[in-house]
Amino acid sequence: MNYLPKLKYIFLVYYIRYSLLAFPIIVSFSCSSNKSQIAQTEDKFQIINPIAKDTLIVADYVAEIHSIQNVEIRSRVRGFIEQIHVDEGTSVQTGQVIFTLSAQEFREDLLKANAQLKNALAELKIAEVERNNTKVLADKNIVSASELAMANAKMEAIQARIEEAKSAVASAQINLAFTQVKAPFSGTINRHPLKTGSLVEEGNLLTSISNNQEVFAYFKVSEKEYFDFIKQGKLNNSQKVQLVLANNELHSAEGVIETAENEIDRSTGNIAFRARFANPNQLIKHGASGKVRVNLPLKNALLVPHKSTFEIQEDIYVYALDAKNTAQLRKIKVKQSIPNFYVVESGLSPQDKIIYEGIQRVKAGDKILAENKGSKSINSPIAQK
């Protein structure tokens, strides 16, 4: 029996049946897809133009902090430390005695020098008498003129010895005075590396002293920034700056940039500036670290909100719209980040249109329905007054 026609008939019946069952599903899927496309097309995105306005940027520079006066106090003579009058960390006044060194040897030297001076003065008196007598005899031609010249020369030699003796006395007095180590200016005493009874040689470090009423903050800027400072006239106490302490708190007193070094470091291309800060509570110590914060004005800066940007492999991008409202990736170069905004160095112009928010729902090539938000409604930074 030939079953082929019958099998063909059965296959045809099943094909028609399942085709009819699948048709509603296909139609439903097609409708759903069209609805999704319509929904995507009807989803509006707010767009803005980059904001062009005057503003301020904040630049922080690592700083080395020095007291306005800071010196090492060293021994000027050899001797033992007999007494320490001022404890570590104590404030002292100009001329106040800090250390007393053994002085007996220098007292003896002073006595000896005074004795030699007295001896020379006595010899001078004898020589004066002899010279006067010789002069009387020479005037009467009893002795020759050469004897008078010898008497005068003897007096001159003794006078020279007197000057030498006076110098020895002064030197002994200075050395004796050096046994009293005094503060060269008012300030705060640092650590004492040597204690009472220690033998010190000439030049040994005894302590250091700092005047912390004011401090200097030295920081380095690039050559380009240096010329910007000069162009804006920000040197000579005209540029106000702040000091960020090591705990990230701002120092209570504002400072000023006073001066700059006279050479640019060839190895780094940087030049050092010096800023001065008042330190009334003497909170800041010599050798502290911090950052000098400078507010720099930017004229006609181009700003875009952080929320309008995204990052790809450390590069910053926005979605810019072309004439047909098609989203396109646009890489921008950022000059500075300020609160809620980037300062754009290149990559955008004030005429460009970028998606303000909702960039997570967009991909390059999407054609979107744009709604102009208006840059005035964005909380942009306040321009410098």
Identify the CATH number of the domain in which residue 357 sits.
2.40.420.20
Q: Is residue 248 part of a domain?
A: no
Full 3-state SS string of 50-96: CEEEEEEEEEEEEEEEEEEEEEEEECCCCEEEEEECCCCCCEECCCC
Question: How far apart (Å, rounded) are the C-alpha atoms in residues 281 and 243?
Answer: 15
Domain check: are 166 and 48 in the same one? no
Tell me what pLDDT residue 145 has: 87
Among candidate residues 203, 236, 256, the one where a domain is terminated: 203
What CATH number corresponds to the domain at position 186?
2.40.50.100
140-180 pLDDT, tens per residue?
888 888 888 998 999 999 999 999 999 999 999 999 999 99
pLDDT for res 292: 95
Looking at the predicted structure, is the pLDDT value of residue 132 above 70? Answer: yes
Residues 127 and 86 in one domain: no
pLDDT tens digit sequence for 61-89: 999 999 999 999 999 999 999 999 999 99
Residue 171 belongs to a domain: yes
CATH number at residue 166: 1.10.287
Per the structure, the count of domains in the chain is: 3
Residue pair 192/207 in contact (Cβ under 8 Å)? The answer is yes
91 with 187, same domain: the answer is: yes
User: Does 83 share its domain with 119?
Assistant: no
Tell me how long the chain is: 385
Q: What is the pLDDT of residues 86-111, one digit of tens each?
A: 999 999 999 999 999 999 999 999 99
242 falls within a domain: no
> Tokens for 259?
């001066």
pLDDT, residue 380, reads 55
Any domain includes 266:
no
For the question of whether the overall pTM of this predicted structure is more than 0.85, the answer is no
In a shared domain, residues 124 and 149? yes
Of 168, 203, 238, which residue sits at a domain end? 203
Residues 315 and 339 in one domain: yes
Binning pLDDT at 50, 70 and 90, where does residue 237 land? Answer: low
Residue 226 lies in a domain: no
pLDDT tens track for 16-54 = 454 544 444 444 444 444 444 433 444 688 899 998 888
- Which residue, 334, 332, 304, 320, is CA-closest to 365? 320
Q: Is residue 122 part of a domain?
A: yes
Q: What would the pLDDT profile of 339-379 be if each residue is shown by its tens digit?
A: 889 999 999 999 999 999 888 888 888 888 888 876 665 66
81 lies in the same domain as 189: yes
Residues 117 and 174 in one domain: yes
Q: In terms of DSSP H, where are the helices of the chain? A: 4-42, 104-139, 145-178, 223-231
Q: Which of 203, 236, 262 is the last residue of a domain?
A: 203
Residues 191 and 124 in one domain: no
Query: Is residue 291 situated within a structural domain?
Result: no
Domain that holds residue 89: 76-102+179-203
User: Do 198 and 311 belong together in one domain?
Assistant: no
- Is residue 203 over pLDDT 70? yes
Within this chain, do residues 197 and 309 fall inside the same structural domain, yes or no?
no
Same domain for 91 and 186, yes or no, is yes
**pLDDT for the residue numbered 53:** 87
Q: Judge whether 363 lies within some domain.
A: yes
d(CA 186, CA 91): 7
Q: What are phi and psi of 163, to 5 degrees?
A: -60, -40
